[in-house]
A = this chain, B = another copy of it.
Amino acid sequence: MSTKNLIFSVLLIFVPISLLSHYVFHWGELVQFALACLAILPLAAWMGTATEELAVVVGPSLGGLLNATFGNAAELIIAIAALRSGLVEVVKASLTGSIIGNLLLVMGLSMLLGGLRYKEQSFQPVLARVNASAMNLAVIALLLPTAVNYTSSGISEPLMQKLSVAVAIVLMVVYVLTLLFSMKTHSYLYDVGVADLKGEAGTTHDEEHSDHKPNPVLWTAVLLGATTFIALESEILVGSLEVATSKLGLTELFTGVILLPIIGNAAENVAAVVVAIKNKMDLSVSVSLGASMQVALFVAPILVLAGLILHQPMDLNFNPFEVVAVAVAVLIANSISSDGKSNWLEGVLLLATYAILGIAFFYHPVIEAAVS
């Protein structure tokens, strides 16, 4: 068992502690919030591992689909729990934060730590470019509903929701076509990364790589178990979030943009950084770019449709500052990744951008993104 898996196994102890704190001891919201965060970390990690193992069982093409669909399951479960509690602005903020975090924090740390060991690291620029164009589209899609509201005298909520649903459908079609592109028609462009991901980010089979046969029953059980507990823990997290963060002096915007995405994506983030240090920059960049693309093209549209079903006003009308932040993150990430090379200074530039955005979100006096 790898060091990482050992840590994530030990952290599972927080699952029962968190449940007890909520259902039995009724401790304060701040404690409940912190424990739920700590409990979700290992659950999300094991969920990712189980998905990957099952992907090996079902074969490459179905497995790719499995990965693409369940890769963001932890994030989706938390977001839907928050949506059901009416925390619409927090959900939107966590989308923004997930994109920003993957592009700046994860890619920044990867390039910095990788760059401290290797003078120059390189990766396939083609991959970065296809991703960059898809990210541009995603940003545009998230930007436009906000821009429509902002450049008119304001549009009504039903109209905004219609517009958001239409945009969401276009994004999901593009997402499916992107999968078709990467798995069928142009899969050769992506070959390098996927093979390595199994060996590196995978967890139990570093040595006996070739003989590895995951047990489908075991991993399905793990997946179902982790999913159930994340649902439970998400409720605790969401229930205690408002009181806890206001006690910490944080705005909902800051919590959603900076805090939640770090919790939901911790495991993947660690994996991306670890492979960067092992000089597998191709893989590291495609994980961080791919993750932010999935959030924009898959998670965001799903949540808009979920909002429709849950009768929550979940639309794509963001706080304009969130739009600025995402645009800025995509701009600098594209500018840095487009040449297929990286060094430690480029990592620093990404992290500095993340720091400045974090500072700005911390000081930002939130106003409701008004829809008349």
Chain A residues close to B by CB (< 8 Å)? 119, 125-126, 129-130, 132-134, 136-137, 140-141, 143-145, 147-148, 150-153, 155, 159, 162-163, 166-167, 170-171, 173-174, 177-178, 181, 185-186, 319-321, 324, 328, 331-332, 334-336, 339, 343-346, 348-349, 352-353, 355-357, 359-360, 363-367
A360 surroundings in chain B (CB, below 8 A)? 144-145, 147-148, 163, 167
- Quick check: A363 and B163 within 8 Å, CB to CB? yes
- Across-interface contacts of A155 in B (CB, < 8 A): 363-365
B170 close to A355 (CB less than 8 A): yes
Give the Cβ gap from A34 to chain B, nearest Cβ, in Å: 26
Q: How far is the CA of A327 from the CA of B228 in the complex (A)?
A: 45
Structural contact, B321 and A356, CB atoms closer than 8 A: no
Expressed in whole angstroms, the Cα–Cα distance for A141 and B352 within the complex equals 9
| A137-B186 in contact given A144-B360, A359-B163, A363-B159 (Cβ < 8 Å) | no
A345 touches B186 (CB 8 A): yes
Q: Give the residue name and chain of the B residue nearest to A155 (CB).
A: B365
A136 close to B331 (CB less than 8 A): yes
Asked whether B152 lies within 8 Å of A353 as measured between CB atoms, the reply is: no
* Cβ–Cβ < 8 Å partners of A356 in chain B: 137, 140-141, 144, 167, 170
A332 near B140: Cβ-Cβ < 8 Å: yes
Residues of B within 8 A of A336 (CB): 133
**A343 — which chain B residues lie within 8 A by C-beta?**
181, 186
Is A335 a contact of B136 with CB atoms below 8 Å? Answer: yes
Distance in angstroms between the alpha carbons of A364 and B155 in the assembled complex: 8
Cβ of A140: which chain B residues have Cβ within 8 Å of it? 328, 331-332, 353, 356
Known: A335-B334, A348-B177, A356-B167. Is A324-B144 also a contact (CB below 8 A)? yes
Contacts of A328 in B (CB 8 A): 140, 143-144
Cβ contacts under 8 Å, A171 to chain B: 352
Q: Is the CB of B137 within 8 A of A332?
A: yes
List 6 additional A-B contacts (Cβ < 8 Å) besides A163-B363, A185-B344. A126-B339, A132-B335, A133-B349, A140-B331, A152-B364, A152-B367
Q: Could you tell me the distance in whole angstroms from the C-beta of A125 to the nearest C-beta in chain B? A: 8
Q: How far is the CB of A207 from chain B (nearest CB, A)?
A: 35
A170 to chain B, nearest CB (A): 5
Shortest CB distance A253–B (Å): 10
For A129, the closest partner residue in chain B by CB is: B339
User: Taking A151-B319, A185-B119, A185-B344 as contacts, is the C-beta distance between A134 and B363 under 8 angstroms?
Assistant: no
Bound Cα distance A178, B151 (Å): 34
A167-B359, A186-B343, A356-B144 known; A367 vs B332 contact (CB < 8 Å): no
* Among A174, A352, A357, A365, residue most surrounded by chain B Cβ atoms (within 10 Å): A352
Contacts of A133 on B, CB cut-off 8 Å? Answer: 332, 335-336, 346, 349
Q: Are B345 and A136 in contact (CB under 8 A)?
A: no
**Chain B residues within an 8 Å CB radius of A148:** 321, 360, 363-364
- In the complex, are the beta carbons of A359 and B137 less than 8 A apart? no
Whole-angstrom CA separation of A366 from B161 in the bound complex: 18
Q: How far is the CA of A346 from the CA of B186 in the complex (A)?
A: 12
In Å, the complex CA distance between A367 and B151 comes to 9
B366 near A152 with CB under 8 A, answer yes
Chain B: minimal CB distance from A343 (Å): 6
Contact of A352 among B129, B173, B181, B321 (CB under 8 A): B173
Q: Quick one: which of A119, A173, A328 has the most chain B CB within 10 A?
A: A328
